[in-house]
Structure 1
């Protein structure tokens, strides 16, 4: 009898170990898929209306632009991580809707990566583009025949005066009174590619200071119209990353590159593919007409 009891206990123990083993594999595999393959993000704000509205749940394809490989534990702890990216099957294109880490989670003075904070915006400018905003409309590479972003909202902005806009909305990056860029008259802003070399005159020092500091990993000083690395002036700089200009579709209500500047490639999570679920923010009722809607 005791032998039979021992056998039963042994079988139960083996079953329990097998359940724990395979459950651990499933959980670990799911975590890896969420980190490196896909993600789901609930949209809390209206900055991407009408394409995406509050209460939408967006599925993000992390393989499209290439999965990021990095030390997840260091990233969660807020440490600076070395990010490598696997080859993707497409590149980021103008007008793609992209999910990325908020580049300024705590302050607009420096770029950081917070693993828990995300934005979803439309990519207006890609590396190598020169971007301007002319009377509220995005213009890329001086081609006024092509349109980018939400044209209806840009058209409305073109009819809106500075006085009609809420406080703090009109003026824009790099927040310099001499340049006086604003959301209706902005640029030209060249968007750097990896390997590009630029001359650091006063204007370029203002425009690229934050992303150069992000690449170097420490702050620089801007004085006498010159960017200084400690006591050494920087007459020029060669970029080691690609950068992007992101804009919200609701142009009069979006914290985007018009205000905080350019986005480094390392902070890009993936391509917003489709809305897999949508519910009213307050009643929680499912909006069936938006379920499985492709994001364009």
Structure 2
């Protein structure tokens, strides 16, 4: 539902609540109830709250909470304290407001006598309800515990009332700050190592690029999309806004470290075993992987000849004709012939998969969403999960990467070197690449960490035969080990026309996830980052790059039929972009799920600029004191 309806409701509510009748009972003028905004300030004063709280009615999401607070405070000022009264005040205050307006015996003079046990008991259940809704379960239990321990002093509010008021306002203030100014963020994965480390706690500056008004503002305070421990979503879409961004200090710049909503997170596999209920990082990648698995499981293995068995059988037949070296030479030719035939058979099988990819994708989606099962490559087994969930833009997972390309840039990656508009992108201080290492005797892990800052299983594997190194770390190792050989891990791109069917299937691993675009972790074909207002000619080559932009982010129907393109049912050969887009990459280049996997990041997904590490906890134990309150660059 659009927020406009809520604001219209709040505008007319004072008239529905008949405040023009109840205001005079508090010594105010009837006309004060008819002035929008001002009437809420007066109602707040009558209820014993600060008049400026009425300003909070402007903030989406918070306005609904403030409306409830005004109502509960207002009816309590007129003597309505029971659990039932409080529930009405929060969710349906119209009946009590009518009583207040029309019953001349009800005056706004009620004050709780904190020395009178009857008054305290009268409001106790209502106070518990407010505290429970303010901070479910936790706040309630804390207040009960402290209330049991506290010795009540005459004339003082109960601890339940004190905690309820304090927590309520603190959460409102914290929610407003978190939504529009700063937000804490924890680094969950190693994709930005070694610029940012797992266990770093960041401050995300939302004002820098302009605060984004939440699309789903009515949400449980101080959590993102899931309430911890109970694994239920933390928001409701009763109120839904259009994308709006307040003015900021600057635009997103090349090479900024940016926090954004995960662009491939519109649909997510919900697995409570994983952080925030996510399994994997890319639903669309999971669908491709599951489609391939289901297809390969369907293949009748008996139709694929066993080359070893055939060779042995052929050797027996030919052994009577040839002897010794002659037989070996003949068998080499036979093996090559069998290999070609087998390869041709396999190519035909995968060609069938390519021709029927939509069928297998639909089958994969059914397996994931309905059967709630999928294969985990990491665990090497099938996993049961809770199915698929849809998430609105502002409730998709928060990700952090470096912005390599802004709207209008041309990007290309050659041998792990990024080129932006034809120029080499900077090599950042902690950016690291992956190398195969030969002729080196690795010291103990303690020495590697103390001398070079390298950690086993994070920076080097297989006894040092594979290393992830920054430029400075590479220089140090080359100096200390002059005989060592460091070869950049460099998966090369292959011309699509020269690719076999099985090789084309692997093209689905990298954006644009098309059989006809071969990109790798270290080499990407040249492409253009979409810019708002720019019109492009649609071609078979670039449609794969921009179809998701057109459909998922700019919400148009797109269809290709008989070589022609149709957008929202109309035939066209061009498209004009409605938003700016960005290309994000992790500094840990060989261990980062980033734009190379899921593509462009729309401007409405940008959350803020990562500005400072305020705390850092080593997953292996201890605090990284040297990282506290350090800037991010």
Name 1:294's counterpart in structure 2: 631
- Measured in 1, the distance between the counterparts of 2:237 and 2:564 equals 31
Q: Secondary structure of 2:395's partner? A: coil
Shift of 1:113: 2.4
Question: What residue is the counterpart of 1:193 in the other structure?
Answer: 531
Separation of aligned partners in 2, 1:191 and 1:112: 23
Quote the residue 1:159 is aligned against: 488
Q: CA deviation at 1:12?
A: 3.9
| Partner of residue 567 from structure 2, selected from 224, 229, 244 | 229
CA distance in 1, matches of 2:512, 2:530: 16
Q: Which has the higher contact order (CA 8 A, sep 6+)?
A: 1
Q: Aligned equivalents of 1:151 and 1:129: distance in 2?
A: 24
1:44 CA displacement: 1.4
Partner Cα distance (2:168, 2:587) in 1: 42
| Inter-partner Cα distance in structure 1 for 2:628 and 2:179 | 23
1:97 Cα deviation after fit:
0.5
- Equivalence map 1:197-276=2 (5 Å): 197-224=535-562, 226-229=564-567, 231-276=569-614
SS in 2 for 1:209: helix
What pairs with 1:99-178 in structure 2 (closer than 5 Å)?
99-105=259-265, 106=268, 107-108=283-284, 113=393, 115=395, 117-144=397-424, 146-147=425-426, 153-154=432-433, 156=435, 159-162=488-491, 172-178=510-516
Shift in Å, 1:172: 2.2
Deviation at 1:128, TM superposition (A): 1.3
> Distance between the aligned counterparts of 2:566 and 2:603, measured in 1?
25
Q: What is the deviation of 1:270?
A: 0.4
In structure 2, how many angstroms separate the alpha carbons of the residues matched to 1:228 and 1:186? 28
Instruction: Output the CA distance in 2 between the equivalents of 1:232 and 1:120.
Output: 38
Following TM superposition, by how much is the alpha carbon of 1:41 offset from its aligned partner in structure 2, in angstroms? Answer: 1.2
Residue ranges of structure 2 left out of the alignment (5+ in a row): 1-111, 120-154, 220-224, 226-234, 269-282, 286-389, 436-467, 469-486, 493-505
1:55–1:228 Cα change, 3 Å: same
Q: Which moved more, 1:76-85 or 1:23-32?
A: 76-85
**Residue of structure 1 equivalent to 2:32:** none
Aligned residue among 30, 37, 58 for 2:174: 30
Query: What pairs up with 1:53-68 in 2 under 5 angstroms?
Result: 53-68=197-212
TM-score (norm 1): 0.84
Classify the secondary structure of the residue corresponding to 2:604. helix
Give the SS at the match of 1:73: coil
Q: Tell me which moved more, 262-271 or 225-234.
A: 225-234
Give 2:246's match in structure 1, choosing from 71, 75, 86. 86
Question: What per-residue deviation string (whole Å, max 9, x for no partner) do you get for residues 173-218 of structure 1?
Answer: 1123333122332132111221111111112211111011134425
Call closer, same or farther: CA 1:111–1:26 in 2, change over 3 Å: closer
Shift of 1:89: 0.6
Task: Report which of the two structures shows the higher radius of gyration computed on alpha carbons.
Answer: 2
Contact preservation (8 Å) 2:616, 2:627:
yes
* Bigger mean CA deviation after superposition, 22-31 or 239-248: 22-31
Q: What displacement does 1:221 show?
A: 2.8
Offset at residue 226 of structure 1 (A): 4.4
Question: Could you say what secondary structure the match of 2:615 adopts?
Answer: strand
Unmatched runs of 5 consecutive residues or more in structure 1 = none
**What SS class does the counterpart of residue 196 from structure 2 fall into?**
coil
Structure with the larger strand share? 1
1:95 maps to 255
Q: Verify the 8 A CA contact 1:173 1:182 in the aligned structure 2.
A: no
Instruction: Quickly say closer, same or farther: Cα 1:129–1:150, change in 2 above 3 A.
Output: farther
- Structure 1 pair 125/73, CA: closer, same or farther in 2 (3 Å)? same
Bigger drift between 33-42 and 106-115 goes to: 106-115
Deviations 1:75-105 (A, max 9, x none): 9346974110011112211111011111112
Q: How many angstroms apart in 1 are the aligned matches of 2:576 and 2:512?
A: 20
Could you tell me how far apart the structure 2 residues matched to 1:150 and 1:210 are? Answer: 34
RMSD: 3.3
| CA distance in 1 between partners of 2:185 and 2:164 (Å) | 29
Give 1:169 shift. 9.8
Per-residue deviation, 1:116: 5.2
Alpha-carbon spacing, 1:129–1:111, altered in 2? closer, same or farther (3 Å) = farther
What are the superposed Cα offsets for residues 269-290 of structure 1, whole Å, 9 maximum, x if unpaired?
100001100011243x211011
